[in-house]
Amino acid sequence: MESAAALSQRSSRLTWLAVALATGVCALLATVGADARWLAALGATIVRTHSIPDGVPYAAASSAHWVNVPVLGELAFHAFESLGGDRGLLLAQVVAVALAFALLALDMRAAVAPDASRAIVLVAVLFAAAPSLIVARSQLFSLVLFPALLLLVRSEARRRSPRVWLLVPLIALWSNLHGAVLAGLAVAAAYLLLHRLRSDPAVAITVLLASVAALFLTPALARTGEYYVGVLHSEAARRGDGMWAPLSVHAPFDVLFVVVAVPLVMLALRSRLPRWELVCLVALAVSSIHVSRNSVWLAMFIAVPAACGLGRTRLRDVVPSQIVVVACAVVPVLLFVVGIARTPSANVAGTTLRDRAVSLAHGTPILADDADAEQLALDGHRVWIANPLDAFDRRDQLLYLEWLDGTAPGDRVLDRDARVVLVMRDSPSQRRLARDASFRSVGRDETSVLYVRTGTS
């Protein structure tokens, strides 16, 4: 009878079908979220001026102290956006998701998890991490690099080799793209200190030190640490606001994550995790509870051990026929074709309303919600403040967040010579502004409402 290892290596039909399904679902549902277009805007500035600007050039609020680290990410997003606007950003997201799931599949295969259990867990990860997979944001690069790091580290845990040194260039590249490199570095450190150190202390220590040094191989060099400190101690992070919000029973996607992740964790524990992986699981779980968007890293981390744990059941004997696979493959192909062909859904003000806002502003900074502000910046116009919020003074960050929340203290932002305001429909700030007699509505579209100060022509 064929061994489980041989069967796992031979059959991957369901696994790759699950990868195709994840890619197709992403293509069909993906949208561009806030925290994406600002990278393209800064990338365009860098290309146009051939230099890295001081602070955030499209915002009037003070940001001169900001240390710009993810320059490579900004240039990449500018390239994606240049390919076709939002369609280019969405295509990049789809490619990232496809690569991420392919890397997870390869990691599962190397761990000798059966084909059926791999497929089931990959589909579970699709549901558990849905917001991070279907919304294009700055973490796009990390969706690929995190499973790439896991694949490398786990392969080293199974069999030591000089390839462990690949951690150094991987961390250096990642640090120039997105801040989730800190999660990757933490996982690498756990492996090196809790596993590799016992049998290969010289390599473990030198690779760890080199990886930490690689974190600083950015245009900011020694000041790179200031950037990460600023991000982690921003006003949004302190308040647990927006993308820094903790898991909540009132958020449907958070509830879905918990419902899917708990069984995956139980399956992962069933696979008898080594100590370093157990430490990482606990750390990533705590991180996910504290900041819900970090749940994607936990979902990806537990995917491989969960597939191994599930593989201890009778699923190891499931081998689908060629006809079944071909029939099922039609679904993700159709999803992908329809998704790529569709017109990206609008989540910012249309061109007409944005042009009118610029015309009425007469060169003064426009106050706008985060998504509209990023789009105006990408258009080449000046706003009062926009992402990345951690680039600005803490007082301005707090003022802007309170305005977005529609609270009374946020009204002070309107006193800063705000002549024109562009805000998302039915948002807390829009509802509050509608009751403000000093502003009047002069236009709206499907997503946003344009206000001008009373007496402005």
The pLDDT tens digits along the chain (457 residues) read 445 444 444 467 889 989 999 999 999 999 998 889 999 999 999 999 999 998 999 999 999 889 999 999 999 999 999 988 899 999 999 999 999 999 999 999 999 999 989 999 999 999 999 999 999 999 999 999 999 999 999 999 999 999 999 999 999 999 999 999 999 999 999 999 999 999 999 999 999 999 999 999 999 999 999 999 999 999 999 998 888 999 999 999 999 999 999 999 999 999 889 999 999 999 999 999 999 999 999 999 999 999 999 987 665 555 555 655 565 666 677 777 777 677 777 789 999 999 999 999 999 999 999 999 999 999 999 999 999 999 999 999 999 999 999 999 888 888 767 899 999 999 999 999 999 989 999 999 999 999 999 866 5
Q: Judge if 321 and 429 occupy the same domain.
A: no
Q: Judge if 175 and 253 occupy the same domain.
A: yes
Given 317, 339, 361, the domain boundary residue is: 339
State the Cα torsion 214-294-274-101 to the nearest 10°.
Answer: -90
Q: Judge if 267 and 300 occupy the same domain.
A: yes
Given 307, 339, 371, the domain boundary residue is: 339
Q: Judge if 168 and 97 occupy the same domain.
A: yes
Q: Judge if 327 and 381 occupy the same domain.
A: no
Question: Do the domain assignments include residue 58?
Answer: no
What is the total count of domains within the chain?
2
In terms of residue numbers, what domain contains 259? 4-32+67-339
Q: Judge if 263 and 408 occupy the same domain.
A: no
pLDDT at residue 457, rounded to an integer:
57
pLDDT at residue 396, rounded to an integer:
93
Given 288, 311, 339, the domain boundary residue is: 339
Question: Do the domain assignments include residue 43?
Answer: no
Question: Do the domain assignments include residue 423?
Answer: yes
Q: Judge if 326 and 358 occupy the same domain.
A: no
Other CB atoms within 10 A of residue 56 CB:
26
> Is residue 194 within 8 Å of 275, Cβ to Cβ?
yes
Question: Do the domain assignments include residue 189?
Answer: yes
- Whose tokens are 């403040």? That residue is 385
Q: Judge if 335 and 355 occupy the same domain.
A: no
Q: Judge if 435 and 314 occupy the same domain.
A: no
Question: Do the domain assignments include residue 268?
Answer: yes
pLDDT at residue 242, rounded to an integer:
83
Question: Do the domain assignments include residue 267?
Answer: yes
Question: Do the domain assignments include residue 304?
Answer: yes
Q: Judge if 205 and 185 occupy the same domain.
A: yes
Q: Judge if 228 and 360 occupy the same domain.
A: no
pLDDT at residue 151, rounded to an integer:
98
Instruction: Report in angstroms the alpha-carbon separations of 249 from 39, 265, 427.
Output: 32, 19, 21
Question: Do the domain assignments include residue 26?
Answer: yes
Q: Judge if 165 and 230 occupy the same domain.
A: yes
